[in-house]
Structure 1
Amino acid sequence: MAVPKRRTSRANTRHRRAQWKAAAPTLADCPCPRREKVIPHRACTHCGLYRDRQITEPR
């Protein structure tokens, strides 16, 4: 089993962890007239449209 020879310093650990970032979700415009922002491949939460078809009840 591989075992580290030396302890990783705080600077190196923090330098490595600094690269872990949360990415903002990609948003697309809904085809409805209001142009709500929608996560791709999901029905619009406002109007209920998905690929120009009514999937859920509009709010």
Structure 2
Amino acid sequence: NQFLDRDDSLIQCATHGALFVVETGECVAGPCMGDCLEAVPIIEHNGELHLAEDQT
């Protein structure tokens, strides 16, 4: 829970305190209001999350 707000409902930036909707990445509070986080592809392997290799 180190990346979520106190209600465990939004992602919270540890640097700026901005809040993001988990499902969409939209910033709903903070200096980047209205912007969105960039999704990155991940894979799960042996219970660990890893960045997926770029397939382009």
TM-score (norm 1): 0.28
Is the helix fraction higher in 1 or 2? Answer: 1
Larger radius of gyration: 1
**Greater strand proportion:** 2
